Amino acid sequence: MKKTALWKDIFREIWQTKARFFSIFAIIALGVGFFSGIKATGPNMLDTANHYYQTHHLMDLKVQSTYGLSEKEMDFLKGLPEVKAVEGMYTADLLMKEANATAKVYGYESKATLNQYEIVEGRLPEKSGEIALDDTKIMAKHYQIGDTLSLESGDEAKQPIADALKTTTYQVVGFVNSPQFIENMNRGNSSIGNGTTSAFLVVPNEDFNLPVYTEAYLTFNDTANLAAYTKAYDQKVTAHQTFIEEQIEQIGKERLDSLKVEAEEQIQTNEQQLEEGKKALADAKTQIEAANEQLVAGQAQYEQGKNTFEAGIATGDQQIKEQAQLLTQKEQELATNQQTVEAGQARLNEGQAALDQTKAENLPKIEQGQALLTQLDQLLALPLDQVSAAQQQQAIQLGAAYSPDLGNLLMGYFNGLMTQAEARQTVQGIQANLAANAQQFDTAQNELNTQQQVLENGRAQLAQGTQMLTDGKVQLAAARQELATQKQAGLASLETAKAELADATAQYQTGLAQYEAEKATGEAKLQEGEQKLSEAKKQVASMALPKYYVFDRSIQPGYLEFNDNADRITSLSTAFPVFFFLIAALVSLTTMTRMVEEQRLQIGTLKALGYGNGDILKKFLVYASVASIAASVVGLLVGFNLFPTVIFNAYSTLYNLPSVRIHYYASYAILSLLVALICTTATVFVTVRVELRANAASLMRPKAPKSGQRILLERIGFIWNRLSFAQKVTARNLFRYKQRMFMTILGVAGCTALILTGFGLRDSIGDVAPLQFGKVMQYQLAVGLNDQATNDEKTDYEQLITKHQDITGTLKVAQEKVKTTKKNGKIQDVTLFVPETAKDLKQFVALENRKTGKPIKIEENGAVITEKLAKMYQVKVGDKLKIVDTNNEEYNIPITGITENYVQHYLYLTPETYQTIFGQQPTYNTELLTYSKENKEWEDQLGESLLQQPYVVGTHFISQLSGALDDTMSSMNIVIMVLIVSAAALAFVVLYNLTNINVSERVRELSTIKVLGFYDSEVTAYIYRENILLSVFGIIFGLIMGIGLHRFVLTTAEVDIAMFSPVIRWWSYLLASALTLLFTLIVMWVMHFKLKKIDMIEALKAVE
Amino acid sequence: MSFIQMKDVYKRYKMGETTIVANDGIDFQVNKGEFVVIVGPSGAGKSTVLNILGGMDTADEGQVLVDHVDIAQFTKKELTGYRRNDVGFVFQFYNLVPNLTAKENVELASQISPRALDAVEVLKDVGLGERLGNFPAQLSGGEQQRVAIARALAKQPKLLLCDEPTGALDYNTGKQVLKLLQDTCRETGTTVIVITHNSAIAPMADRVIEINNAKVRKMSENPNPVSVESIEW
């Protein structure tokens, strides 16, 4: 049996009542979507984070030590049970010059598997000198790929950058995210700069110059498949953490020993070096002295040389001069000699000439005489007889010619006067005379000749002398030349020597200067070295065991906070969407009920036609099911995608996680589908079943119109009579449709409550930061102090603080972490807070009752605890709270006051009480400061100068803390906006639906008044007066409901360590009311057009 | 000069593909103070005439002169004003506001009308002086229709239009209602137009207009209308 007509009717019904179908659809879709979406958001957020951690192999634990991590520790870690991977990491805190900010530099090795970076842009460093940067706005502002980044040490004197890095300038090659830093802003604290790390940087391992790793990362096999943020994961990791903490201490001793040995070796080397340095210095001294001596000797030598040279030259000169003189003398002498010779010659020549003349004159006479004489002799020799008188005459003539004497002689002889012999003798005598005369000539000649010879000798001698002189002159010239050359050469070499000497002097001077300088620094260094050495010795002596720190992921900025945020969304999803869904369900229930009522006649007709109850029911069940299933599907699809995405994106300003991973949770899908079906299909089923009990005839008869009724108000004459006619009509109408009135009020109230809760949450969460850091914590800076610091260091610090004029107050405080005992499976961390002078505390921390604002004093015999802690442990004033210190000793502390506080748990004690309870003096490890300046630059400067103090271990600026909280709040704002927008959408649909029902139920009445001549606006006003009134009731009721819902959501959304301010601001009430009213008005405006279109003729024709 | 003149009035309804002509050149006049009965079978176009005349519907063509004003040219708002001030309606199913008492139902009309009579007086006039505070559900059909008439009369309309006023009433009650309408016409001089498919009541009218198949088939003036009591059907 086909019932096609029935099916046609079902689908035509849907088509014809599009508006109603759609409104049910919309409301269910909204409810389902919101419920499933919000429910899925928290798990999706955590899953997204976990997936990110797992794909990037985020470490489970991080180990650090006060001495870094050597192979010893690494070997130990590698040998741990269940350990999957252990990797060492070099890190260094350094300053970025260009950005003027502090960075934590990480080593990178391509084969490293843990904490892998996510490349946002560019690439990771591949070779020395390359760097990848943290993908943050600050970094992007200062650097681009290709830029140069320079690093410097925070304190070059104490920690030279070369100790950490080989290279200090890098080329930017990429921007990356790290699973260690899912937060956008926070990079943790630093011991340099202003105390806050701004970014992480990644450089190749080869650029590091560290002897040991600074951090070690571990993952474990048994946690590899566990999702982060789950209990199972946390338990496993905590177990490993505890195990390592317990076991690694053994390594500590060994490490210390080896460190000591190393240090001693180092000291020895240093000592040696020092000695060497000393020796070098001494050597240098000796050298310089030797140099000096040499120089002096050189100088002397030079002087001597110079003297010798000069003397030599002088002697040479002198000699030459003498020689010259001598030569001149000789020359003169020679000239004189020459003259003498010449004169001699001349005389000789004269003599010769005279001789020659005499000779010439006499010789022939002599010879004639001779010859005559000879002849005479010969004639004389003959006896006289023999000699003819001719001959005689001749001989007498001849003789007489020769000399009259001779002639006389001869005449005498021939005349015989004289004997022959006598004559002869006389002749012979004459002849001998003559020969003697001739001989005389020869002698003279001889003498002349001898003289000539002498002269010749003299001349030869002269020539020789001249020759010699010439030679002497030549020699002299040569000597002169030689001397000049020698002098020049001597001078030149002297000059060279001088120059060399000057050079040597200069060299010596520089050497000396250098030496002096080196000596100064060297001595200083030596001194320093000695000091260092002695310090090092002392240090080695006092070297403590290495302290090991085993951190789980919670140390990572944002890691836990992200969980908190996800949890917050999850806890929001417990109350908010349920309430939301309830309203949706309620309204769809009303709509379906109305539908059944409208279809009464048709139910009767179908029944009359003989259709069974099942068939009749089918129509409504199909209608409702189609609407709710289609709506659920759409709602689930949209909800599962939209809400996690929107909320996650809201958090993306805080976290640099990849986009959200959408999951479809069958549990939420089934749950919401079931509720949707119950609200629509089940409602229809019940309502139709009720109707079906009646018989066909009565069903076909119009249901007797609901009678008008006098309302209670009419009996209160003085009010009723004062009402205008329209108001009376409105008043009575309100009570006539009680169900609709109830639904409208509830719907509007629900929406108002949702919106108010949204705004209220924003107030409460937004108030936390200003309340905690403005009202409660009134100090501006907490300075962590090193209790091991020396007195000098402390004094330095105190002076710095006193000098700062802007610092208006200081208070030393002892802070200590203790724990509470277990409550509801959880242990709370409590900060023991002991001000040095309790009466000064109020300037720094306001202790007061939140409700009354009455100040609370820390009593002598007990503690003041914070409100949330008191609430969690249900402690009242006069009760005792049990706390456990780090040595696991329990103390019962009487509570004398409960103070307003919003973040973390504190337990305030006076020093005296502390002493009484713990039996020791509190250690003041923190100083709280207040100051009059408000700007960040000033704070940065202050932070920087404080961190340079050895007494200071850290700075915590309230402005930074509250800034971080503000960020969380602003992302929370977006989440709340999502809630508000959803609530608003719901409000709109609910109001539209209810108004729609109202109008369709009363279309006949509305047509009547239209026919009676009511203008459009009057018709609208006629019906809207009720709506506005109901809305107002709804809003008032909703505000009350909202307060409750807000409180409920707050308590579920609250994390253990925080208390939200339960106060909703007045303007949130106003805004929630105004928004609801606005939606009411928008709906009315839309409905106004619908009302205008009502066909009065059709409406009036029909039988009701 | 006639008080009401319908001149060549056409009204067509589009029902999907087909066009239904409800009034096909309707043409008639009514004088002031007349008691007019429009008769004709179901679907003849009577109600359309009445709706146009009452300003609840508009003519596609032709003139509808009421007191020398062509209401066919009125805007929606003017029509509402016309309904408010000049026309009183009585429907087959009374159309009382169920949440208002008899008196309040009358007030609903009287409070928006400038020439309105006192609601209580009008109700007394229609014989419901005792039932002022009753809700419609507490009244019989005749009484409800009387409340409806009172509501229509309270504003002293120029024109009282009644669409099958007795359709949902029993014989006697129907007669009483017709009597009330006739008396009103006679006593107040209000022009009354009654639509009915019951031609038996035609003799009580001053003027009878027969409409059939969207046209006026016959219009006759009755110089001697009889009292409704004398008519039997």
Q: Does B99 touch chain A (CB under 8 A)?
A: yes
Query: Residue A176 has what DSSP assignment?
Result: E
Smallest CA–CA distance from B51 into chain A, residue: A1097
- From chain B residues 192-211, the ones with a CB under 8 A of any chain A CB are none
pLDDT digits 0-9 by tens, A605-664: 777 777 778 888 888 888 888 888 999 999 999 999 988 888 888 787 778 888 888 888
A725-736 and A738-770 are packed helices; what angle lies between their axes, rounded to 10 degrees?
90
Q: Mean per-residue pLDDT for A817-835?
A: 81
Q: Does B107 touch chain A (CB under 8 A)?
A: yes
Smallest CA–CA distance from A1010 into chain B, residue: B80
Q: Would you state the pLDDT for residue A171?
A: 92
Q: Would you state the pLDDT for residue A1102?
A: 57
Q: Does A1012 touch chain B (CB under 8 A)?
A: yes
* Cβ contact B135–A1013 (<8 Å): no
* Cβ contact A729–B100 (<8 Å): yes
* Cβ contact B136–A1014 (<8 Å): no
Q: Does A1100 touch chain B (CB under 8 A)?
A: yes
Min Cα separation B104/chain A (Å): 8
- From chain A residues 726-745, the ones with a CB under 8 A of any chain B CB are 728-729, 732-733, 736
Which tokens is A179 given? Answer: 């699973």
Weakest-pLDDT range from A242-246, A708-712, A802-806, A848-852: A708-712
State the DSSP H helix or E strand holding residue A1081, giving kind and residue range, or none if neither.
Answer: helix A1066-1092
Smallest CA–CA distance from A729 into chain B, residue: B100
pLDDT band at A1104 (very low <50, low <70, confident <90, very high): very low
From A707, A1015, A1097, residue closest to B77, measured CB to CB:
A1015
Query: Residue A707 has what DSSP assignment?
Result: P
pLDDT digits 0-9 by tens, A589-602: 788 888 888 788 77
- Measured between beta carbons, the chain A residues lying within 8 angstroms of B101 are 708
Q: Would you state the pLDDT for residue B1?
A: 63
Q: Looking at this predicted complex, what is its ipTM?
A: 0.85
Q: Which residues contact A1095 (CB under 8 A, 6 or more apart)?
A: A1007
pLDDT at A33 over 80: yes
* Cβ contact A1097–B56 (<8 Å): yes
- Measured between beta carbons, the chain B residues lying within 8 angstroms of A1008 are 95-97
Q: Mean pLDDT in chain B?
A: 86
pLDDT digits 0-9 by tens, A423-457: 777 777 777 777 777 777 777 777 777 777 777 77
Q: Would you state the pLDDT for residue A176?
A: 92
Q: DSSP for A29-54, please give it.
A: HHHHHHHHHHHHHHHHHHHHHHHHHH
**In what order do the strands lie in the sheet containing B18-30?**
B18-30, B4-15, B61-66, B69-70
From A707, A1014, A1097, residue closest to B137, measured CB to CB:
A707
- From chain B residues 26-65, the ones with a CB under 8 A of any chain A CB are 47, 51, 54, 56-57
A4-18, A390-404, B95-109, range with greatest mean pLDDT: B95-109
Higher pLDDT, A221 or A381: A221
Higher pLDDT, A386 or A134: A134
Contact A23, A978 (CB under 8 A): no
Angle at B87 between CA B83 and CA B89, to 5 degrees: 100
From A707, A1008, A1018, residue closest to B97, measured CB to CB:
A1008
Weakest-pLDDT range from A48-52, A582-586, A1087-1091, B88-92: A582-586
The pair phi, psi for residue B179, each rounded to 5°, is: -60, -45
Q: Does B85 touch chain A (CB under 8 A)?
A: yes
Q: Mean per-residue pLDDT for A1067-1072?
A: 90
pLDDT at A513 over 70: yes
Percent of chain A with pLDDT over 70: 97
Which of B89, B97, B139 best probes binding to A when mutated, by most A CB atoms within 10 angstroms?
Answer: B97
d(CA A321, CA A476): 9
Q: Would you state the pLDDT for residue A840?
A: 84
d(CA A116, CA A567): 26
Smallest CA–CA distance from B79 into chain A, residue: A1013
d(CA A297, CA A615): 136
In chain A, what is the greatest distance between 2 CA atoms, to the nearest angstrom? 255
Min Cα separation B232/chain A (Å): 28
Smallest CA–CA distance from A730 into chain B, residue: B99
Contact A1080, A1032 (CB under 8 A): no
d(CA A94, CA A207): 14
Angle at B205 between CA B199 and CA B211, to 5 degrees: 45
State the DSSP H helix or E strand holding residue A984, giving kind and residue range, or none if neither.
Answer: helix A958-1001
* Cβ contact B95–A1010 (<8 Å): no
From B77, B97, B138, residue closest to A1005, measured CB to CB:
B97
pLDDT at A868 over 60: yes
Q: Does A1025 touch chain B (CB under 8 A)?
A: no
d(CA A89, CA A106): 7
d(CA A130, CA A110): 13
* Cβ contact A1104–B93 (<8 Å): yes
* Cβ contact A725–B107 (<8 Å): yes
Q: Which residues contact A1066 (CB under 8 A, 6 or more apart)?
A: none
Structural domains of chain B in order of their starting residue, each with its CATH number: 4-98+158-227 (3.40.50.300)
Query: Residue B110 has what DSSP assignment?
Result: H
Min Cα separation A1100/chain B (Å): 7
State the DSSP H helix or E strand holding residue A497, giving kind and residue range, or none if neither.
Answer: helix A425-542
d(CA A576, CA A759): 13
* Cβ contact A1014–B84 (<8 Å): yes
Query: Taken in order A475, A479, A480, A482, is the CA torsion positive or negative?
Result: positive
Q: Give whole-number Cα distances, A88 to A112, A115, A125, A509, in Å.
A: 9, 11, 18, 54
- Measured between beta carbons, the chain B residues lying within 8 angstroms of A704 are 137
- Measured between beta carbons, the chain B residues lying within 8 angstroms of A1014 are 80, 84, 112
- Measured between beta carbons, the chain B residues lying within 8 angstroms of A1011 are 54, 56, 83, 89, 95
- Measured between beta carbons, the chain A residues lying within 8 angstroms of B98 are 705-708, 1005
Higher pLDDT, B1 or A530: A530
pLDDT at A1103 over 60: no
Q: Would you state the pLDDT for residue A1037?
A: 92
Min Cα separation A736/chain B (Å): 7
- From chain B residues 141-160, the ones with a CB under 8 A of any chain A CB are 151
